[in-house]
Amino acid sequence: MFEESERLEAYLEDTTDGENSLLKRVNRETYLRETMPHMLSGHYQGRVLSMLSKLVQPSLALEIGTFTGYATLCLAEGLAEGGKLHTIDINEEQQERVQGYFDESPSTDQIVYHIGDAADEIAKIEGIFDLVFIDADKKRNLYYFNELIDRVRPGGLLLIDNVLWKGKVFDDKPDNQTKQIIELNQTLASNDRVEKLILPIRDGLFVLRKK
């Protein structure tokens, strides 16, 4: 099964658009320098995020959980002219390197990088979001959704990563963190304010469109 998964991932990457040179470098340096490089969105999911962003063409977008900026750069590819993408992360140790990546991007003037607790930083950002990507502390996913749903325009997207949790959502005796993911998925599945589906790519991406 693992070999088949690897073959599928390789095939998907071979049949989608390639990474640009900056994304390749972010990918490579993340795997060289970080202790948990698997947190990076990566090539295929990055193209999915880019495609969704280009379909929405957000004037105002929000990302919770910057990590090394790979997904940020992908989401920024779809910004409307003059649009802004606010990205928030708690880890200030990565700030200089990640800001360096943003400074090299064609979207540098459109990316606003916040360091701090997302719950505090969100309140400082004014406006209605066209697109939100949540990829941070999994225990707070439902909190972020509830905080942001009223700040997303009708037709806007909320994306939540890691909702299949390495397949643990199917465990007969899930651990506490897995139970939180299951609760999130069940709560969102019954929410009538959004249209929803889970894309089974990488670790599961919940796509929610506000009605």
The amino acid at residue 155 is G
The burial of 180, by beta-carbon neighbours within 10 Å (0-12 exposed, 13-18 middle, 19 or more buried), is given as middle
Q: For residue 4, is pLDDT > 80? A: no
Percentage of the residues of the chain whose pLDDT score is greater than 70: 98
CATH topology of domain 2-210: Rossmann fold (3.40.50)
Contact (Cβ atoms closer than 8 angstroms) between residue 63 and residue 135: yes
The per-residue pLDDT for 202 is: 86
Calpha distance 151→52 (Å, rounded): 19
Mean pLDDT of the chain: 95
Q: What value does the mean pLDDT take over residues 73-93?
A: 97
Quick one: pLDDT band at residue 1, thresholds 50, 70, 90?
A: very low
The per-residue pLDDT for 3 is: 61
Q: For residue 33, is pLDDT > 90? A: yes
Q: What value does the mean pLDDT take over residues 38-51?
A: 95
Q: How many CB atoms lie within 10 A of CB 138?
A: 19
Where exactly are the structural domains of the chain?
A: 2-210
Lowest mean pLDDT segment, chosen from 52-61, 77-86, 196-205: 196-205
Q: For residue 67, is pLDDT > 50? A: yes
The per-residue pLDDT for 137 is: 87
Pairing between strand 84-89 and 60-64? parallel
